Amino acid sequence: MWNFPLLPEQASAYAAKVDPLFYALAVFVLTFTMGVTTVFIVLGVRYRKRRGVHRKSVHVENMLIELVWSAIPVVIAIAIFAWGAVLYYDHGKAPGDTIDINVIGKQWMWKIQHPNGLREVNELHVPKGRPVKLIMTSQDVIHSFYVPAFRKKQDVLPARYTSLWFEATKVGEYPLFCAEYCGTEHSLMGGTVYVMEPSDYEEWLGGGPALTPAAEGEAIFQKMGCATCHDAGDSSRGPSLNGLYGKDVKLRGGGTIPANDEYLRRSIMEPTADVVVGYTPLMPAFKTQFNEDDILSLLAYIKSLGGGTQE
């Protein structure tokens, strides 16, 4: 088994930012706990019943003390909140130029696909010093992708897409875990993250014949007959998918919905859930025919048809 030290290595830019907050909180909590406990014990001994200390009509009222011991904790609490909020924002907001890697959690393994199509299982190779974004979903139950050395963890949910970004700072091998109990072999659901020099990563990436996810998606699109209804032409029975991604889609019965990953997935798996205005819902449901891999490929293909512009 892995040697799992109490304090995992710091291998990401984020780790170096989170740890000071962790230590500050630990020192803060310990200081207060020890202070309060000490006073508690001292007073308890000093004023115990046998001492027979005079306790009648003790009356202390001091506005200054009241104000000070209310104000100080408020200031400290706000400071901790602000510190945490800044880091949380950093955790949530990926920079624009990430390497996007698909991750599928599945009882009990992590399936990974790189932008050039290369796949791996329970192993994730990433370059040092480049921001990487994982786009994650689950084939079955809730999992959670956790790399302690990066101080990064994110739940992975069925029928939803969550993301997790990081920038590795240190070449090495780091354990990867599933951090959400997901069944009998949950404890074995994990693997290794390999952080490589960018040149080694490039070389490693080149080491496999692979179709890009968009090319795989296009193949599925042709094979499954999607193209018969979603032809670019106007006579098609279904709407054109060109430029769909990221657009607002008008739905039958009123309302609009942004064409994001979750909407596209639902449109394919359960077409009647949201019907596009002006179309008859004659698209067959593909729920039983696709796994999450296929869906991610189809999404990559649809995104490759452009987005943000009109049809």
Contact 217, 303 (CB under 8 A): no
Task: Check residue 224 for interaction with ligand HEC (CB under 6 A).
Answer: yes
- Candidate list 136, 189, 249, 300; residue touching ligand HEC; CB under 6 A: 249
Binding flag, residue 143, Cu ion (CB under 5 A): yes
Nearest to 150 by CA among 127, 169, 136, 123: 169
d(CA 65, CA 238): 72
Q: Which does 279 bind (CB under 5 to 8 A by kind): ligand HEC, Cu ion, none?
A: ligand HEC
Residue 225 binds ligand HEC (CB under 6 A) = yes
Q: Does 296 bind ligand HEC (CB under 6 A)?
A: no
Helix axes 292-304, 213-223, angle to 10 degrees: 100
Q: Is 111 in the site for Cu ion (CB under 5 A)?
A: no
Pair 128, 118: CB distance under 8 Å? no
Q: Which does 135 bind (CB under 5 to 8 A by kind): ligand HEC, Cu ion, none?
A: none
The one segment of 69-77, 78-86, 171-179, 261-269 that binds ligand HEC by CB under 6 A: 261-269
Exposure string over 70-89, b if 16+ CB within 10 A, otherwise e: eeeeeeeeeeeeeeeeebee
By a kind-dependent CB cut-off of 5 to 8 A, residue 83 interacts, out of Cu ion, ligand HEC, none, with none
From CA 104, how far away is CA 175, in angstroms rounded? 17
The secondary structure of residue 187, as a DSSP letter, is G
Which stretches of the chain are DSSP H helices?
A: 13-46, 63-92, 198-205, 213-223, 226-229, 261-269, 292-304
> How far is it, in rounded angstroms, from Cα 298 to Cα 276?
19
**Contact status: 92 vs ligand HEC (CB under 6 A):** no
Residue 15 interacts, among ligand HEC, Cu ion, none and using kind-specific CB cut-offs from 5 to 8 Å, with none
Stretch of 10-18, 177-185, 276-284, 300-308 lying at the interface with Cu ion (CB under 5 A): 177-185
Per CB under 5 A, the list member of 164, 176, 178, 276 interacting with Cu ion is 178
How does DSSP assign 102-125, residue by residue?
Answer: EEEEETTEEEEE-TTS-EEESEEE
Binding mask 184-203 vs Cu ion (x if CB under 5 A, - otherwise)?
Answer: -----x--------------
Cβ proximity to ligand HEC, 199 vs 288, nearer residue: 288
Q: Which of 147, 214, 276, 296 binds ligand HEC (CB under 6 A)?
A: 276
Rounded least distance, CB 116 to ligand HEC, Å: 22
Q: Is 238 in the site for ligand HEC (CB under 6 A)?
A: yes
Binding of residue 287 to ligand HEC (CB under 6 A): no
Give the interface with Cu ion as residue ranges (CB under 5 A).
Answer: 143, 178, 182, 189
